[in-house]
Amino acid sequence: MVDEHTDPVATRRRRRVLITGAGGQLGRALAETFADDDLVALSHKEWDVTSPGPAGLRSDPFDLVLHAAAWTDVDGAESDAQGAAAVNVGGTANVAALGAPLVAFSTDYVFDGRKGEPYVESDGPNPLSAYGRTKLHGEAAAGPDAWVVRSSWLFGPTGHNFVRTMLRLAEERDEVAVVDDQRGSPTYVGHLAAATRELVDRALPRGVWHLAAGGDCTWADFAEAIFEEASLDCRVRRITTEELGRPAPRPPAAVLRSERPGAPPLPHWSEGLRDCLAALSLTADGDPK
């Protein structure tokens, strides 16, 4: 039973909640999900986390910080690992230095994807890319008292993500080449935000949590599902990672599952896709709502 007087994070009163990276796809979903709290939602422009932040932030304490700011350009991190580390490691340290209960978001790319079955929290990380390494070091920078939420293949109605890219490409051509040898769980940001809220509201223990959509697929499977669900006439040509030739190596199969008691369950990725298309005002038959 949560004691309302000793656990300010989980109580039902309006908490003072800070969101970093509030302009990003997850930041926006978190702002919607935590809308009944007293929110301070700061975009990149309002707080570049590579600096300690405005003095006002440090003088007026928060009940909860949701740290969604990050360098997320996986390929760009290969040629500017220091830049990526400044945000993902140094930035996370600056956010943790606020001293408030913290949720820091991390990624399936901390794993090498060679396990052959889903990864649970006790599995040892082994990132293949500069991005993955900065995120792993960022987990440490969040500190032992943080909730470190690892998720995967995020998509939502705003920002840069695979769903929006596929919808755009389908307008321009009748075939797209999509990688078919990477497997993961595409996770809808609205579902991740709701699961994050559950983690905090239920005062579940701190530490690493794997929160990703149910089910798994390849990028090519996901692209086909997007076209089908949005009734778009576009074919998927299945290619290999090698054919695509991106600078950063990706884990071939990094499906995240939780082994922790009481882990908030997330809906299947196909449900996330439907919710995302609905949020984009695309019905199943492709007509605007």
Ligand X SMILES: NC(=O)c1ccc[n+]([C@@H]2O[C@H](COP(=O)([O-])OP(=O)(O)OC[C@H]3O[C@@H](n4cnc5c(N)ncnc54)[C@H](OP(=O)(O)O)[C@@H]3O)[C@@H](O)[C@H]2O)c1
Catalytic positions, please?
A: 131
Say whether residue 136 binds ligand X (CB under 6 A).
no
Is residue 182 part of the contact set for ligand X (CB under 6 A)? no
Shortest spacing between CB 139 and ligand X, in angstroms: 10
Q: Does 68 bind ligand X (CB under 6 A)?
A: yes
163 binds ligand X (CB under 6 A): no
Q: Which residues contact 206 (CB under 8 A, 6 or more apart)?
A: 144, 145, 146, 147
Q: How far is the CB of 237 from ligand X (least distance, A)?
A: 23
CA distance 159 to 189: 11
| The one among 129, 152, 185, 258 contacting ligand X by CB under 6 A | 152
Quick one: 34 or 105, whose CB is closer to ligand X?
Answer: 105
Cα-based distances in Å from 280 to 15, 23, 47:
30, 17, 28
Closest approach, Cβ 113 to ligand X, in A, equals 13
Q: Cβ-closest residue to ligand X? A: 24
CB 86 within 8 A of CB 49: no
Positions 79 through 98 that interact with ligand X (CB under 6 A):
87, 91
Among 69, 146, 163, 178, which residue interacts with ligand X (rule: CB under 6 A)?
69
Question: Which tokens in the block code for residue 159?
Answer: 């920002």
- Residues 17, 41, 49, 96: which binds ligand X (CB under 6 A)? 49
Chain residues that interact with ligand X, rule: CB under 6 A = 20-21, 23-27, 44, 47-50, 68-72, 87, 91, 105, 107, 135, 151-154, 159
